[in-house]
Amino acid sequence: MSKAKRYEPENPILNTVKTGIKGTLLFLMPLPVLLAAIIHLVKGHIFSSLTAGALFTGFMVAAIVARHGFKLESKFKQKKLAKAPGTPFKSVAAVILAVTTGLTAFLLADYKLFASILIGFVTMLGFYLAYGLDPRHDKTGNISLGVTADEVIEALEAAEIKIDIIEKARKNIHNIEFNQHLKRIVEKARGILTLIEEDPKDLGRARKFLKVYLDGTARVAESYAKTHKRAATTEVLDTNFQEVLDSIESTFDEQHQKLLENDQFDLDVKIEVLKTQLKQI
């Protein structure tokens, strides 16, 4: 038996909300600087207004960069196998925030140079205490049986890209039945990826399955969504699309079960049937 547990999809909306709320203070903190820019502008102090406006922009850039870093960190933490973000966006944001805060203290609040530098340093320290450091080490788990961590991570990332394409296409298809089909397929696909993360040796048995089914489903769903948007679908096209979705969903269920049972992958015949069906769309 595989050690993987049955897939229980997380609530993506809840996770998105949590990530979105994180760092909100970074967007609120510089509001007094914006107010100062407006006041200086009203008083006719153009240079001071431009200075305050530039500093406010710096704060906003820091907040946006940090928010991107939080999103990458959230995705990294959700996965059992993942590469650390290449760019330490949180650290970049901390530096921008520290410099901008120091300049604000020096240029707008009339602090001395040393005091302004100290304020910037404290700001950076506060950022790290509040939000932590960027992930810097890959999560590779215990990879064995002829499969490297890079191979597994690369395959999972490629599969995620295809799943995102399917999900995007699903949102553009307003046929309720097709929409629900694709929603279930996306959930089942992510479930299989979770099993591979839990037990990477499953990749060897699921690689062909993922490639053929995800590539095919992504291509067909994207193509159908474009045709659907132009209101150019036909009864024959809808029938073929329905048959392909039925085949994909049932085969995903079978593959999921076989990975759980650690059975040898024996769905090649169904894959060949799917290839034939995909050519008809």
Confidence at residue 1, expressed as pLDDT on a 0 to 100 scale = 38
- Cβ-count burial of 24 within 10 angstroms (0-12 exposed, 13-18 middle, 19+ buried)? exposed
Q: What is the pLDDT of residues 156-194, one digit of tens each?
A: 888 889 999 999 999 888 888 888 889 998 988 888 888
Confidence at residue 144, expressed as pLDDT on a 0 to 100 scale = 56
Crossing angle of helices 235-261 and 268-278, rounded to 10°: 160
Confidence at residue 104, expressed as pLDDT on a 0 to 100 scale = 96
Residues of the chain with pLDDT under 50: 1-10, 12, 264-267, 269
Q: What is the pLDDT of residues 25-45, one digit of tens each?
A: 899 999 999 999 999 999 999
């404290």: which residue's tokens? 122
Confidence at residue 267, expressed as pLDDT on a 0 to 100 scale = 44
Q: What is the pTM of this model?
A: 0.64
As given in the structure block, the two tokens for residue 102 are 């120091």
Phi-psi region of 124 (alpha: psi -120 to 50; beta: other; left: phi over 0): alpha
Confidence at residue 16, expressed as pLDDT on a 0 to 100 scale = 54
The residue type found at 149 is: A
CB of 236 closer than 8 Å to CB of 210: no
Q: Buried b / exposed e across 103-136, counting CB within 10 Å, b at 16+? A: bbbbebeebeeeebbebbeebbeebeeebeebbe
